[in-house]
Structure 1
């Protein structure tokens, strides 16, 4: 069936063709030059070559580094899938894409079936991969849409939400941290992440001042009443206000100023690694994976959900648990929570409110029943 739907040639399942052309492109790897190059009929010059490099640099910043890495992995998986079945990934065929997503939803081998949301994410990655190679993937083609609709109808499930970290949980987690330099840093990460409703990538992207580093995602200004974070998030630039807390032990602004003072940070990334002896801060920005590891470690140390096994307990929490905790516990008008989290709609904010409003309003009694 696959051979009838797409152009094929003989390949070994575990490697390249036996008589491959050494000049043939490897379609599993994105072109190094991207889509920006001078047309053949235009002669290059110093100015034009510089602008080509500038355009490529802007293109590399069109999406976050994590997104680009995920898209590259999606394309590599698809290219390998095609080669294992004697097909070419390019030119991209909607029929082959439909077979690919069907295999993701109901794999014949030992590979686990992907969720609907993961398959949709894969399609986004394939669309990106095609664009990088001068191709266009029509996701609205009937071969793709009908198969995807069937997958949704048969396999769709409600999204599995991570557990919210509520204020008492956060106090218990913070209490497990030592009072050395690493402890000061990690305490500030947890409290700022919670009070600001920040994503883990947003936390580690913060700089001390505006334009301190090229890879900055925002900066912090400490004021008398709190901290003002100017942040470049998924929905564009926004300001996040973090007011001072009622106690120094749990005040995010106090924790941040303590870390900045003792780490002697007055320029560049705010959340950086600490030297091996734990006595000084380095200049190396932390990865967002540190936030995820920190949350899981402090959850374990605090003994949250002792009725569960360690694996089950750690699976409940992620970086988004901080955002969900703020949305679920802040007893204020919903629009303020929406603004803090940077959501474009109130419906998205409600998804973060774990059981907050469940049965609070009794419409059954209100209707007279």
Structure 2
């Protein structure tokens, strides 16, 4: 048992039993950190890295390597970086020409670079640098881009795949092939579930359950870190725009190829067979041995078909998710219903941004004046 002792205090000059306290202080009451308190094992570091989406980690790695190389060229230390180094680096990024675009980086890309540098410091148990000066430079850069009407001032957004654009894309797909059936199912299921391409590529056949009312799709929502069961109803129009019939047609076609389990969306070779070849990149084995497509490949399907359909704008895998949000709102769906169906976090700024775009005509305040 824990020993206890009474403690007296004086009230109006007279001793009074005030409270009962432990007779001794626990060892943890005195905070003296040792090296053990600051140690982080390799397993813990790997576990932290596993909590960062793979696409984000790739981008952060690229940003960190660029920062480290710039520091070497300038005779500066990349870790721990100083606030002055951060300010100089952001100033450099506002004028340096990107090899990929032939233009300086936009504000969003510079923000990501700052996040990458802070993440790398935190992962190494090093205090990240102060960025107050760097962010003032970035703020001035945003102002300059806006006042000079530079397109980089506008955030690049994926065009929303609403109903009409989606129909145009579906019209360009040859569904007599396995690849065509896969592409049509990817577009319609991505739209109907408001899924990210990373969530679509992760789906297995077992994640899709057919019911008399439609499909129940078990999707792991990466941003909110949990599974959601999404109900997909039969389409009221033609069969070729119905997500339920289209997904079931894909599953049946894969069964004819002997595939009844594993990934729902797979690579397909030029002969129309499921492609399970081991691929190599720079001597490193890549690709899923079961033939699962990557998130990048799923996004490329959306981009390629949109371009084939002659659609204007920037079409990416995110176009399906944006299209669902805007069309659902136009149809009168409640915000919380849209949010829960699409796996958005409560109060998601991204989702509210999509809704605002859909509402700027549907619920325009000028119309009420």
Point out the more displaced range, 179-188 or 245-254.
245-254
**Aligned-pair CA distance for 1:191:** 0.6
* Among candidates 53, 73, 79, match of residue 68 of structure 2: 79
Q: Distance in 2 between matches of 1:228 and 1:346?
A: 24
Larger Rg: 2
Q: Distance in 2 between matches of 1:354 and 1:268?
A: 39
Q: Distance in 2 between matches of 1:53 and 1:103?
A: 34
- Who is 1:274 aligned against? 268
The DSSP-based 3-state class of the residue aligned with 2:109 is: helix
**Aligned-pair CA distance for 1:364:** 4.2
Q: Distance in 2 between matches of 1:108 and 1:185?
A: 39
**Aligned-pair CA distance for 1:53:** 6.6
Q: Distance in 2 between matches of 1:329 and 1:71?
A: 33
Q: Distance in 2 between matches of 1:109 and 1:297?
A: 25
Q: Distance in 1 between matches of 2:307 and 2:142?
A: 36
* Among candidates 84, 106, 115, match of residue 95 of structure 2: 106
Q: Distance in 2 between matches of 1:364 and 1:56?
A: 53
Matches within 5 A, 1:254-269: 254-264=245-255, 265-269=259-263
The DSSP-based 3-state class of the residue aligned with 1:159 is: coil
TM-score (norm 1): 0.73
Q: Deviations over 1:104-132 (max 9, x none)?
A: 12338986222211111111111122223
Point out the more displaced range, 165-174 or 333-342.
333-342
CA 1:285 to 1:56, structure 2 compared with 1: closer, same or farther past 3 Å? farther
Q: Distance in 2 between matches of 1:97 and 1:190?
A: 42
- Does 2:82 correspond to 1:88? no
CA 1:224 to 1:325, structure 2 compared with 1: closer, same or farther past 3 Å? same
**Aligned-pair CA distance for 1:101:** 0.9
CA 1:267 to 1:80, structure 2 compared with 1: closer, same or farther past 3 Å? same
* Among candidates 161, 171, 174, match of residue 175 of structure 1: 171
* Among candidates 189, 200, 205, match of residue 202 of structure 2: 205
Q: Distance in 1 between matches of 2:92 and 2:164?
A: 44
Q: Deviations over 1:156-190 (max 9, x none)?
A: 63423222122122122112212111111111111
CA 1:81 to 1:103, structure 2 compared with 1: closer, same or farther past 3 Å? same
Kept after mapping to 2: 8 A contact 1:323/1:352: no
* Among candidates 187, 201, 206, match of residue 190 of structure 1: 187
- Who is 1:12 aligned against? none
Point out the more displaced range, 92-101 or 52-61.
52-61
- Does 2:165 correspond to 1:164? no
* Among candidates 353, 358, 361, match of residue 360 of structure 2: 358
CA 1:261 to 1:357, structure 2 compared with 1: closer, same or farther past 3 Å? same
Kept after mapping to 2: 8 A contact 1:335/1:346: no
Q: Distance in 2 between matches of 1:362 and 1:174?
A: 31
Q: Distance in 1 between matches of 2:353 and 2:103?
A: 27
- Does 2:335 correspond to 1:334? yes
**Aligned-pair CA distance for 1:154:** 3.4
Structure 1 portions without partners, runs of 5+: 1-37, 43-50, 210-218, 305-312
Q: Distance in 1 between matches of 2:56 and 2:364?
A: 42
**Aligned-pair CA distance for 1:69:** 1.0
Q: Distance in 2 between matches of 1:249 and 1:326?
A: 18
**Aligned-pair CA distance for 1:350:** 3.3
**Aligned-pair CA distance for 1:243:** 1.6
Kept after mapping to 2: 8 A contact 1:94/1:137: no
- Who is 1:26 aligned against? none
CA RMSD of aligned residues (A): 2.8
CA 1:185 to 1:354, structure 2 compared with 1: closer, same or farther past 3 Å? farther
**Aligned-pair CA distance for 1:76:** 0.2
CA 1:133 to 1:363, structure 2 compared with 1: closer, same or farther past 3 Å? closer
- Does 2:248 correspond to 1:250? no
**Aligned-pair CA distance for 1:270:** 1.4
**Aligned-pair CA distance for 1:52:** 5.8
